[in-house]
Structure formats: structure tokens, C-alpha cells
Homo-oligomer: A and B are copies of this chain.
Amino acid sequence: MSGAQARERFRAGHVAPTSGWCAGLTQANLVVLPRDWAYDLLLFAQRNPGPCPVLDVTDAGSHATALAPGADLRTDLPRYRVWRDGELVDEPTDVVDLWREDLVAFLVGCSFSFEGRLLDAGVPLRHVAEGRNVAMYVTDRPCRPAGRLQGPLVVSMRPVRADLVPTAVQVTARMPSVHGAPVHVGAPAALGIRDLDRPDFGDPVRVAEDEVPVFWACGVTPQAAVMASRPPFAITHAPGHMLVTDAPDAAYALP
């Protein structure tokens, strides 16, 4: 399926997590803020490039992106989250009626982009095999603040067989625009994560005896900053329900 075909389905009302859709095409996290807050978010991203690799920023009011010509950012994601003063107030399937001329949309790289590479390199991914959303955790590690925006680092976790950890590190290190190498290997407590069975976002996943939990910086981090910093209005994607772009994952891999 092409990116345009996937977006057309979501525009028509289909709702599903996008993991596994359109293999080889980059998926992106969405954060939409009023223009008045856009500098703070762009600076937050500059200061926290691991969790917040910015792939594109729209001009205020525009709902088009260079990453997916013809896409409408108001309708083409399967599900959105709407935030007022940092509180989640709705999870609609489009945001046409909420769009404003002063809104700026940020598209942020997503770890789905390196999952194909991990599978190609022989690193199995249990959440993919089981058709579930990846497990995500809010850590106790603060991001560098920027203006009014602050918040914790959010990570995604994948169990990796101990002998495959070096492969997983090397494969993902070659994709710094989509979170890059893991931030942590093996010690959830060191990140302030108490119970791997209770992720803050996504679905829990079993860690087998011969596996290690490996943590990557996660594009839900700006969403956590919205929750913590309470801008008057924001729209994000619903976790796991990303924008499918037309940009190939390969465009974000180092030569």
C-alpha cells in the first residue's frame, strides 16, 4: 500500500495503530501548537534532539507537509489527541473543526523507522510479532527545558536477546534522525521505571529470560512536555497512531 492510500483510508475514518503499515515509509509523531508556543517547542527539540528529531515544521495555518505531498494533517492520521491547558479533552479521528490560522504543526521522527532495519538485521521484535503497540515509559530524567516547555524523557522499550544487543545498538545508531542509538540498556530502575509490566503508553510486552530491556528515546516526549507545561491548546497524534509519510526510511539512514 502506498502512503497516499494509507492516508486516504484514515481520512475516510479507518482507525488503527499504524505500526507495520507501509513498510519502508517513514512515520511521524505530530505536535500542533499555537504560533506563540512554536519557538519554545522548536528550541525544546534543538536541546533534546534524541527524543525530538524534527522532520518538518509547517508554516502557521498550513496543514500541508513536504513529507507527504497531498496530505492533510487535519484528517490523515487515524486518531488525534486534543489538549487544553495540558489536559486531554478529546480523541477525535479528525481535527478539521479545531484547526486555526495560528497553529503550527511539528512532525517528529518515530522509532518505527528503525524497526524494519532491526528485523532485517535479525533482531526479532516481539510487539511487532504479536501485533501490539510498543511499550513506552515516562522516565525520571528531565529534558533540557526551553522557554515555558519542560518535561520528562519518554522512552520506548524493546526486549532484545543479550547477544543481539550490540547489533541493535549499531543498527539504530545509524539512524540519528529517528532517535538513533538506545539511551539505556538493561536497567529500568536507573531511568525511574518501576514496573515494566505497566507502561505509561502502549502495550506491555514480555521480557524473556535471555533478553534485556533496551530503551530508546521516544517521540511521545514532546507530548509529555505538553502535559507537563500546559499550553492553552495543543493537538497531537494518539500514541501509535502516526502520520504515514511518503519519505522512505532510507532517507534518514546514514550512508
* Chain A interfacial positions (CB closer than 8 Å to B): 38-39, 42-43, 46-47, 54, 57, 59, 147, 173, 176, 254-255
Shortest distance between the CB of A35 and any CB in chain B (Å): 8
Q: Return chain B residues, CB-CB under 8 Å to A38.
A: 39
A43 and B60 alpha carbons, distance in the complex (Å): 12
The CB with the most chain B CB atoms within 10 A, among A46, A147, A176, is that of A46
Shortest distance between the CB of A220 and any CB in chain B (Å): 20
Q: Return chain B residues, CB-CB under 8 Å to A147.
A: 59
Chain A facing B: main interface SS: helix
A240 and B23 alpha carbons, distance in the complex (Å): 46
A117 and B153 alpha carbons, distance in the complex (Å): 34
Shortest distance between the CB of A118 and any CB in chain B (Å): 18
A54's partner among B39, B46, B59, B255 (CB-CB below 8 A) is B46
Residue of B nearest to A36 (CB): B39
Shortest distance between the CB of A185 and any CB in chain B (Å): 15
Residue of B nearest to A181 (CB): B255
A42's partner among B46, B59, B176 (CB-CB below 8 A) is B46
Q: Return chain B residues, CB-CB under 8 Å to A173.
A: 255
A46 and B42 alpha carbons, distance in the complex (Å): 9
Of the A-B pairs whose beta carbons lie under 8 Å apart in the complex, a sample of 14, sorted by A's number, is A38-B39, A39-B39, A39-B42, A42-B42, A42-B43, A42-B46, A43-B57, A46-B54, A46-B57, A47-B57, A59-B147, A173-B255, A176-B254, A254-B254
Q: Return chain B residues, CB-CB under 8 Å to A57.
A: 43, 46-47
